[in-house]
A and B are shown apart, each in its own frame.
Chain A
Amino acid sequence: MPELFKMPQATPTMEVGTIAKWRKAEGDALKPQDVVAEVETDKAVMEIEVFDSGVLLKILVEAGVEVPAGQPIAILGKSADEDFSALLASLGGAAPAAPAPAKASPAASTPSAAPTPSPEKGVAAPVARAPEGGLRPFTWAGEAVNSAFMELPTYELGLLEAAAGAAEGPGSGRAAPAARRAARALGIDLDAVHGTGPRGRVLRADVEAAQARPAAAPLPPAPAAPKSEAVKNSNMRKTIARRLTAASQEVPAFYLTAVFDCDALVAFREQLKGAGLAVSYNDILIKGCARALVAVPEVNASWGDEAILRHKAVHVGVAVALPDGLITPVIRDADKKGLSTIAGDMKDLAARARDRKLMPDEYTGSTFSISNLGMMGIEQFTAIINPPEAMILAVGGMQREPVVRADGSLGVGWRMRVTLTCDHRVVDGALGARFLAELRKLIEKPALLAA
């Protein structure tokens, strides 16, 4: 029996999702845990899976279209020849959603994009692809040669393998090395390039064409080559580059700097230590930020064209440096966790982050982030927002300084400088200041945190 496949509720807060990409085509066989599509949610691009064997009979919602969770996006069946016309009719006359022109990706708007046979035109049903990957023997004059001995057989990637192959790459994963290199040099996002090579492989010429299309500007003249060494970008490096470039280009950010009096904080931590609790300043900051986010819920939010999403949960991301990049493990529901729980979670997450053993849901879905370079001797800095979050707190090192106390006397005190980067689309200056004020209260009177 054919059945409807609906937009899943991929995250707790997800209300709508946009199909970023179909990873399976109509007629493709499906195995349990096959990723069929990528869906952009409020938090991230999620891979959505199926859990039954069968066939993707019909795609109802094309890539680029936003649909509410729970709305049908495809029809699945057990075999390719199942009749799903009744099911299709039951959806009402509504034609399958077409991509909104404004959101159309370059690939989708390219006329030569892989055409799907249209059933309305009565053309032959799409040929079901072989469900399993594997060898296709070398054939000679129509007969299979026992190519284990001789000539090279071809190898069709299994669906799972193909998906795995694409999982880390920016796009389908099918891009010639020459194209990847060209894309890197030209600053082109491979995701946005339509591949004309075999099986949709992006070729160098495709990258060059993509470069020529948006702006006919000539390439800048090559400067005299400096003596330099090319260090290949890891996928992590590329992801960082892509996301932060986008953030710095798209997010209208402003910065708020504050100096916190940390004398009480130092005493508080000593007190915890005395009680046998190993809690870092950073752990205390996590907790403080979480509480401040609860107190100022307007900032625990994300920008959307139609609406600002206010997150009900408080998930605090903490940037952890790795040898070739950084990752932001997430303390979920940090507002509800005690300090020692946060400390324990953070220790575990940081350790596993360095070993690259984090599960995706351990580094995605944060609603606010902290970047702390205090231990690196940095006094003060600004951080770039980690979309779709609205704010990130850059934390400098605590240091002893000459201070003027409230009573006007001079003395020496512990001070810490923090800079809050805010997405002005979500957070205005006063709102950001309110958050900082709330945080200051908690840091300067840490006893409140224990409350």
Chain B
Amino acid sequence: MDAATQRGPAQAEAQASPHSAVHTQGGLLPLPTQSSLPAITRDELLGLYRQMALIRRVEELAAKAYTQRKILGFCHLYIGQESVAVGAAVATKGDYWMAAYREHGHAMAKGTSARAVMAELYGRRDGASRGLGGSMHIFDREHDFLGGYGIVGAHVPLAAGVAFAAKYRGEGRVALCYFGDGAAHQGAFFEALCLAQLYKLPAVFICENNFYAMGTPLHRQSALADMSLRADGIGMQRDAFEGFDVELVRERVARAADYARAGNGPVMLEIVTYRHRGHSMSDPAKYRPAGELEQYKEESDPLKITLRRLTEDFGVTEAELEALQAGVEAECEDAVAFAEASPIPDPADLYRYTYAPQQTTMGVGEAAPTFTIPALRAQKEG
């Protein structure tokens, strides 16, 4: 039975009624065919490459420190997927981001320093989350990076809420939410998408499909290969593409962000990617078919793809690349040294972050923020 084409009686009835199958008037607007971004320049691409190289190197050093037991607990590395976060960041610099637990790279792509990430992994006072969050809970308010979540799929409703707030205040900002193919089976994910579409929230939901939910390959966890198709049942605009080329990610995410920012409602993206390492540091990833990893590393490594483009199309020299790599190396060494030197959290602070200190007054008759609240729905029904 083809689930996609099955129609229940309610659906048939709805079609017979004056309502269209999708409440949005006239159906969904198509995604733009061209983003608002200017054409990429040599320097910009070099910058994106550097950002990807930096993320990879930080992850490698994190793996090293993990084997030295300097980083503890769960540690999920982003190696192989760097192009997704880095490419998406271009058009969404001033927007809200939220990710799951494989988020070191997302935080850095959004602006968090290698120092803050490494110190957090070390559980130190100068870490992004003051050493309280660790690998899975990197937060950076300064860069509107809203974390790092460890319950698969559970942060997707939060992202809808952030988008809701952006819309409620008429900020013109978008909430980007990253999650994996595993999260696309969670109830929270579906509920969040339903709400986001119902309220036409400015959100971009990005499913980074790396084909493995922990050790379970996609075909054993889903009858659907393209996770973006989930959006169809919700009446949400969607897009799906391979995300190994950072330029492509840059452009396609920008289109989605433009669409959402314009008030057209959320977009779900499936970005196909591949992680080079196991689910976490404790996973040797023996479940992959022989040769698969090698093939992806050879043909689909984001760094290799961009490096080729830089040298072949933009004439970036070997010397330039060496200098860039040296800079990345130095930055990473600095990050590790910074983390090593950062003090462990003060035990006196153990209780400090359990309850936010009360700042709002309980005094009667005192004023509170007021502002103009735009209508939740662009067009009121009926």
Contact = CB atoms under 8 A, between A and B. Distances in A.
Please determine whether chains A and B interact with each other in the same assembly: yes
B348 A150 contact: no
Interface in B185-209: none
Contacts of B350: 140-141
Interface string A124-155: 00000000000000001111011001110000
B347 A150 contact: no
Contact of A142 (B348, B351, B355): B348
A142 B350 CA distance: 12
Main secondary structure of the interface of B (DSSP, over half): loop
B354 interface: yes
Main secondary structure of the interface of A (DSSP, over half): loop
A192 B156 CA distance: 69
B355 A146 contact: yes
Nearest to A143: B348
Name, among B346, B348, B351, the residue most crowded by chain A CB atoms within 10 Å (CB to CB): B351
B348 to A, nearest CB: 3
B348 A149 contact: no
A151 B354 CA distance: 12
B347 A149 contact: no
A149 B355 CA distance: 8
A151 B351 CA distance: 10
Contact of B347 (A141, A145, A146, A151): A141
A145 B351 CA distance: 7
Interface in B342-368: 346-348, 350-351, 354-355
Contacts of B355: 146, 149
A256 B354 CA distance: 78
Contacts of B348: 140-143
Contacts of A141: 346-348, 350
Nearest to B358: A146
A149 B354 CA distance: 9
B73 to A, nearest CB: 23
B77 to A, nearest CB: 35
A141 B349 CA distance: 9
Contacts of A146: 351, 355
Contact of B354 (A142, A143, A150): A150
Contacts of A151: 351
B177 to A, nearest CB: 31
B131 to A, nearest CB: 16
18 contacts: A140-B347, A140-B348, A140-B350, A140-B351, A141-B346, A141-B347, A141-B348, A141-B350, A142-B348, A143-B348, A145-B351, A146-B351, A146-B355, A149-B354, A149-B355, A150-B351, A150-B354, A151-B351
Interface of B: 346-348, 350-351, 354-355
Given A141-B346, A146-B355, 13 more contacts: A140-B347, A140-B348, A140-B350, A141-B347, A141-B348, A141-B350, A143-B348, A145-B351, A146-B351, A149-B355, A150-B351, A150-B354, A151-B351
